[in-house]
Amino acid sequence: MAGNSTEYIKHHLTNLTYGNHPENGWGFAHTAQEAAEMGFNAIHVDTMGWSIFLGLVFCFLFRLAAVRATSGVPGGLQNLVEVVVDFVHTNVKDTYHGKSKLIAPLALTIFVWIFLMNLMDLVPVDFLPEIAKMIGVSVFGADPHAVFFKVVPTTDVNATLGMGISVFILIVFYSIRMKGVGGFAKELTFQPFNTIWLVWFNFLLEGVALIAKPISLALRLFGNMYAGELLFILIALLPWYLQWTLSVPWAIFHILIITLQAFVFMMLTIVYMSMASESHDH
C-alpha cells in the first residue's frame, strides 16, 4: 500500500514532459525519473497548454463582457468584470505613484490569469488526468502508467519562475527608462552607503535584493499552490467515505488561498514597479 501510495503521489506530481533525454533522444518522458533527467532540454506540455488555454479564457470572457456592456441593467458577467476591474484599478491607483499605461492592464492580467490557474486546483485530482490517460491509451497507444498530466500550472515552478522573471525584466526596463542607465547604476552602487569605498558592498546588497524579487514572487506562489495540491492528493488516497469529509472543507478554505496568492503576486508586482519608477530622492 505504501508503495502504491508513493507511486500515486509521484505520478500526480509529474508533468507531461517532452524533451531530449540523454539516452533515449527526443520524445515524451515515460517515467518521473526520465522527466527529471531531461533537465532544460524539455518542455512541460501540460503546464504550457493549460496556461495558454486559461489565458485565452481570460481574454474571451473580458472581451465578451466588453462587447455586451450596457449602460442599463448589467448582466452577471458584466457585473463580475466591473468588480474585478474596479478592484484592480483601486489597488493600482493607491500603490503605483508613477504614470504608465502598462501597470493597470498588467496588474489585471496577473490577478485574473493567476487566479484562473490556481482555480484548477479545485478540480478533483483524478478527473482530468484520467481523461488524459484514456485519450493517451486509446488514441496514441501509450502505456497508462506513462501518461502524466498536471492541470494546475502554478504548481510547476517553471511557470511561476517564468512569470517572476518577466516581472524582473519589467523592473529593470522601468528602472532604466525612468532613471537612465547612469541613474540605475548609481542606485545599485551608491545606496544605501553614499561613498566610493563601499560601492562593491552596495552593489552586493542591491544586487541580491533585486534578484530576490522575482525568486520570492515565484517561490511564494509555487510553494503555496504545490502544498495545496499535495494535500488534495493525500486526501484522495483515503477511503471514499472520508474524502468528502476532508476535501470539501479544504476546498472551501483553499478558495481563500487561491485568491490571496493571485492578489499577493499582483500587489508585489505593482509595488516593485512603483519602486522602479521612483528616484531614491523621491
Q: What is the pLDDT of residues 41-50, one digit of tens each?
A: 889 999 999 9
Known catalytic residue at 63:
no
Distance CA 92, CA 87 (A): 9
- Write down the catalytic residue from 41, 79, 194, 216: 216
- Write down the catalytic residue from 15, 118, 202, 224: 224
First to last CA, the chain: 62
Determine, yes or no, domain membership for 153. yes
- Show the domain range for 243: 2-276
Known catalytic residue at 71:
no
Residue 26: pLDDT band with limits 50, 70, 90? confident
Determine, yes or no, domain membership for 15. yes
Segment holding 43, helix H or strand E: strand 42-44
Determine, yes or no, domain membership for 240. yes
Q: What is the pLDDT of residue 143?
A: 86
Q: What is the pLDDT of residue 279?
A: 62
Q: What is the mean pLDDT of residues 168-186?
A: 88
- Write down the catalytic residue from 91, 100, 158, 220: 220
Known catalytic residue at 118:
no
Determine, yes or no, domain membership for 144. yes
Q: What is the pLDDT of residue 1?
A: 40
Q: Which grid coordinates are listed for 147?
A: 501518461
Distance CA 80, CA 77 (A): 5
Backbone angles phi, psi at 21, to 5 degrees: -85, 140
Determine, yes or no, domain membership for 62. yes
**Angle of the 103-119 helix axis to the 157-189 helix axis, nearest 10:** 150
Determine, yes or no, domain membership for 281. no
Determine, yes or no, domain membership for 239. yes
Q: How many domains does the chain have?
A: 1
What's the Cα-to-Cα distance from 28 to each of 32, 45, 193, rounded to whole Å?
11, 9, 52
Q: What is the pLDDT of residue 243?
A: 84
Determine, yes or no, domain membership for 282. no
Backbone angles phi, psi at 15, to 5 degrees: -80, 155
Residue whose C-alpha is closest to residue 50's, from 128, 131, 126: 128
Q: Which grid coordinates are listed for 245?
A: 469529509
